[in-house]
Structure 1
Amino acid sequence: MRVALAQIITGRELGKNLALVEEYAHKAKAGGAEMVVFPEATMRAFGNSLLDIAEPVDGPWASQVRGIAESLGLVIVAGMFTPGSPSGSGRGKVRNTLLATGPGVDASYDKVHLFDAFGFLESDTVEPGTGPVTFDAGGLTFGLATCYDIRFPALFTANAERGAEVNILCASWGSGPGKVEQWQLLSRARALDSTTYVLASGQGDPAVQGIETKGSAPTGVGHSAVVSPFGEVLAELDGAPDLLFADLDAAVVKEARQKLPVLANRREF
């Protein structure tokens, strides 16, 4: 299965961000991809209000993404924001949601691990999800994860135990000393932990477009990558907006799990 990772830089305006989805989806289709993966916060970049634009996965913005996927006949995975629970801890908050839509695919995942680190408190505005989500496309099973989730191996192995041969990771990674290196290390580690491909699709680095960011909001560093089940980086971008293609093969996952049966050997404590 041929996939594409769309490394874009989103902003405040939903319409402009949607136009990026349409532009890169067309490029992905032209390149032969059956799926294109966009970053976390595709709907609106962090550092902007989220509560006022949150909508259900059948709302207007998501429906337009769904329409693009249907018209092109490919699967789109993109980060959006959905309303939190109407009562309790979710009141006045959103959920950080991944929408997966396209031929035979209709799934969504709410980010489980919230980014309360490096001076940013995602839990101030975001309600956590409750568990793993997988879906099938192109003869493969995909698991979903978002940004800070990458620091928690159990989610990736849980997806693998549910049949995932590929883990999709959508991110808007925070910048700072050593952060790119951590992103690269963690992407490779999670591939090895779960013996899955990891499709690590991140927001590009606003600095490459001369955009000055303020505060501690995570707005992206680029370096989207495709990692093999053996932890090998098959392709990687730099900080600029771009489109990355890769071909996934279930036989490679099977080989990895025969040679490196960490899922079978794993013990619970």
Structure 2
Amino acid sequence: MAFFRAACIQLRSGKTVSENIAVAETLIRSAAGKGASYLQTPEMSNVLVRSREELLDRIADEDGDPFLARMRALAAELEVFIHIGSIAVLSDNGKVANRAFVIEPAGAILARYDKIHMFDVDLPNGESWRESATYEPGTQTVIADLFGIKVGMAVCYDIRFPAIFRTQARAGAEVLTAPAAFTRQTGRAHWHVLQRARAIENGAFVISAAQGGTHEDGRETFGHSLVVDPWGEILAELDHDEPGYVLAEIDTAMAVKARQRIPAIANERDFVCATADGLKEMTA
């Protein structure tokens, strides 16, 4: 069991990487000054641009990405963990990785995670997104060890796929994460309930920093960065879509207690699904 102060850093990332770095750094310094030792930024912290051609003009590979380099230096200077919710980085195959990083206080990269689920959807208001046209999906879930605490990594649309979070909880994760750039439309409908559901069903904290507001490329994101406790209560929320941050105290004893009260993970059983074609084996 452990205790730490977490910060969700809410951004409104635009097309200019240097400007996004400056905003993120200012907010991180302020939150760290108030005792945060784990600071999480949203999905696509380095740049948010819809055009594939514009995106490719603005990003680099991991070794050359200025946002990642600055966050590594900042983590070392402030002696904190910085969890980059994700940045766009060039992959070896010509596609782009939507990649999250956890940076330790010495400035080294502790863990990487590539977003698994691509947001390929057509929404009722006419919005259409095809992330798979640009991004290469990841293939494995990742758990980082911070302060001796297991922290599961996920990104945005992953929140709609409970198996990732259940797999992490089964492996001992007490803190789950889903930093995001949720659309305003889907955020209004589902953001809070999805975050709370993942926390409740796994008896774990969920920490999710978000993009918010109207961006340079015209997209609208929901904001409302929040921290949910293992009983499903919202501990802290930035109740708007403006850049800023919110702080919450994380005590992993709460996860232990929640899992003792409702031992859903321990009580899981394998089962089969009866179909017209016969029985097909299923796993929880």
Q: TM-score, normalised by structure 1?
A: 0.89
The yes-or-no answer on 1:59 pairing with 2:61 is no
- Is the contact made by 1:223 and 1:236 (CA closer than 8 Å) also made in structure 2? yes
Distance 2:152 2:87 in 1: 17
Structure 1 unaligned residues grouped into runs of 5+: 87-91
Q: 2:80 aligns with which of 74, 77, 97?
A: 74
Q: Percent identity?
A: 36
1:42 aligns with: 45
Over alpha carbons, which structure has the higher Rg?
Answer: 2
1:188-227 to structure 2, matched below 5 A, reads: 188-206=196-214, 214=218, 217=219, 219-227=220-228
Distance 2:262 2:62 in 1: 38
Distance 1:245 1:128 in 2: 31
Distance 2:58 2:241 in 1: 27
The number of residues matched between the two structures is 256
Q: 2:242 aligns with which of 240, 243, 257?
A: 240
Q: Deviation at 1:53? A: 3.6
Q: Deviation at 1:212? A: 6.8
2:276 aligns with: none
- Is the contact made by 2:59 and 2:65 (CA closer than 8 Å) also made in structure 1? no
Q: TM-score, normalised by structure 2?
A: 0.85
Q: 1:212 to 1:108 in 2, by over 3 A?
A: closer
> Could you say which structure has the higher strand fraction?
2
Q: 1:106 to 1:58 in 2, by over 3 A?
A: farther
Distance 2:136 2:90 in 1: 9
Structure 1 vs Structure 2 CA RMSD: 1.7
1:89 aligns with: none
Structure 2 unaligned residues grouped into runs of 5+: 271-281
Q: 1:132 aligns with which of 116, 136, 141?
A: 141
Distance 2:265 2:136 in 1: 30
1:36-90 deviation line (CA, Å, top 9, x unaligned): 100001010142433334434333421221111111111111121122342xxxx
Distance 1:29 1:260 in 2: 34
1:180-236 deviation line (CA, Å, top 9, x unaligned): 230111000111122110001110222xxxx6753xx5x421111110111111111
2:105 aligns with: 103
